[in-house]
Amino acid sequence: MKRILLIIALFAPICSRAAKEIVPQIVPAPQSIEMTKGSLKLKGIYINCDPALDARTVKAVKVFADRLSLVSGKTSSVASPVGLAASVDKGGRLSGLYFISDTRLAPESYELSISKKYAVVRVGDYNGALYALQTLRQMLPESIYGSTPDPSAKWSIPCCEIKDSPRFGYRGILLDCCRHFFSVEQVKKVLDVMYIFKLNRLHWHLTDDQGWRVEIDKYPKLTEIGAFRNGTMVGRDWDSNDGIRHGGYYTKEQIRDIVSYAAERGITVIPEIDLPGHMLAALASYPDLGCAGSAPYEVWSRWGVSKQVLNVGKEETMRFLEDICSEVAELFPGEYFNIGGDECPRDEWKTDPDCQAKIKELGLVTDEKASAEARLQNYVTARMQKFLASRGKKIIGWDEILEGELAEGATVMSWRGTSGGIKAASMGYDVIMSPNTYCYLDYAQSADLDNEPLGITRDPKRAVTLSKLYHYEPYDDLPAAAVGRILGVQCNLWTEYIATPEHLEYMLLPRLMALSEVQWCNADNKDYERFLSCLSGHELPILELLGYNYRKLD
């Protein structure tokens, strides 16, 4: 008896490891997964779609089936409802893969029930179906993401029960295309990797001091002049200029194409027109919109923030902003529109006659809460909020919009640490947490700055490592009553020092995968060791296969 117990004890760790190995490596991890015995072969499987599913969902299932057919070497067909009988084997039992619409499931949710003979996929909506498909892909060999046949691979998925839904409804990335311009193809490549890891918002930074990137019919000079700068500062030498003309912009047709491409992947694109600061490219295009004595203007070749700002005391300037936002709003069907509001120097407003006249007209005063000029910016924010509401949009602004007074219904994006988000949520505003301390992907990925690309990080303590981002908890320090105001989490990829697609991807990956677990997984469902195992065992090979550049794990 003792000998039997000894044998069991010796083999127990091996059995335990074997049990762990059959758990599929999925990022972000599902909220609930229960493993059972066996596996379901997907090679040449029948895939059946519930007639209640919409055409977009059926199309997504067919795309999955076509790729599975290609890489496995055996056709997997999608059956119409009348073809369900084809999925019954000789014993009269069901076989195949079934996609079923289940209205009891919350938005973006799905359930998988996988047995040796068949699998049932229940989805709450289109995004839920997309995420179920991504989970199925991650349970298969990496070659499912490729376009080369791999018939010798194990084309099966382990039997299990998965119930999954996102922790947060807003799961975003900001892509800055102003400091450096990136092609349509590169933007789509970012959308592709967002899709794999279940992110659903692309915050697209389209205007800044260093370049204007969106075509506006009523103001053609914005792209004729504002989209290009005469050189860029070299490294951290603020007085240098490489003399290389840089720029570009997206036509309305290209923007519609990107918005459509994103929507197919369950991603909503949110435009940002940053105002009333960060507008030097616009001022270089239309100098009459500036404050008295501020000209001349030139699209900035430096980083940082220009002190030259729009003259918001003139009605002409406000009509300019409304005209622009009207044209941009038509391009983006989502509910949100980001108006920036950050880092707006107000010194010029103190001496500009138009701005001072507007302050007097509005009865704005300086008190212990805010200056009259800060309240002038509140006026701009409130007016743009009202105007965009008439276009069916809700505004998002950086946490500076909290200074002074903020109208009800605005959403605050907390970037200067977490305090702005905590304050806004406590005041009853919706919040997107995006603290630079955890979520700025232009920050170095290691404290060893000598072995990282030159970037904005000067202090090693400010590095945003993979571990630091992964362990960010959005609810920390929030009053219990304010928790429900947190819509989600976003990381920001600013591109002052990022000029090439390879560098862009290096800064994005694999930190985007850590972000996906912060956004998707409940706090008690995160496990950093499991996450690292998934990266090295499955996720990084996927990036390799798809041709992404990424930072190797330490």
> Sign of the CA dihedral 41, 46, 49, 50?
negative
Q: What is the mean pLDDT of residues 392-398?
A: 98
The H-or-E segment that residue 490 falls in is: strand 486-493
Q: Residue 507, SS3?
A: helix
Q: Which has the closest alpha carbon to 140: 195, 87, 182, 196? A: 196
Average confidence (pLDDT) over 489-509: 98
Cβ atoms of 181 and 247 within 8 Å: the answer is yes
Residue 322 has pLDDT above 70, yes or no: yes
**pLDDT score of 16:** 41
> 45 versus 15: which is more confidently predicted?
45
Going by C-alpha positions, the residue among 128, 114, 118, 59 that lies closest to residue 84 is 118
Cross-strand bridge partners of residue 94:
88
SS3 303: coil
Q: What is the pLDDT of residue 22?
A: 67
CB 158 within 8 A of CB 115: no
* Rounded (to 5) percent helix, strand, coil in the chain: 40, 20, 40
Residues noted as catalytic: 208, 278, 343
Position 527 pLDDT exceeds 60: yes
pLDDT reading at 340 higher than 60: yes
Class of residue 59 by CB neighbours under 10 A (exposed 0-12, middle 13-18, buried 19+): middle
| pLDDT, mean of residues 167-179 | 98
Residue 346: what residue type?
Answer: R
- The per-residue pLDDT for range 174-233, each reduced to its tens digit, is 999 999 999 999 999 999 999 999 999 999 999 999 999 999 999 999 999 999 999 999
For 531, counting Cβ atoms within 10 Å of its Cβ (0-12 exposed, 13-18 middle, 19+ buried), the class is buried
Give the model's confidence band at 542: pLDDT under 50 very low, under 70 low, under 90 confident, else very high.
very high
Mean pLDDT of the chain: 93
Helix 353-362 / helix 372-389 crossing angle, nearest 10 deg: 80
Interval 67-111: pLDDT, tens: 999 999 999 989 765 444 445 445 545 679 999 999 999 999 999
Q: What is the mean pLDDT of residues 274-280?
A: 98
Burial 177-192 (b: 16+ CB within 10 A, else e): bbbbbbeeebbebbbb
Query: Rounded distance, CA 474 to CA 466, Å?
Result: 16
Q: Quote the pLDDT of residue 95.
A: 73
3-class secondary structure for 499-535? Answer: CCHHHHHHHHCCHHHHHHHHHHCCHHHCCHHHHHHHH
Percentage, residues of the chain above pLDDT 90 = 91
* Tokens 């692309």, residue located: 202
Instruction: Report residue 464's pLDDT band, with 50, 70 and 90 as the boundaries.
Output: very high
Q: Which residues contact 94 (CB under 8 A, 6 or more apart)?
A: 87, 88, 117, 118
**The pLDDT value given to residue 79:** 79
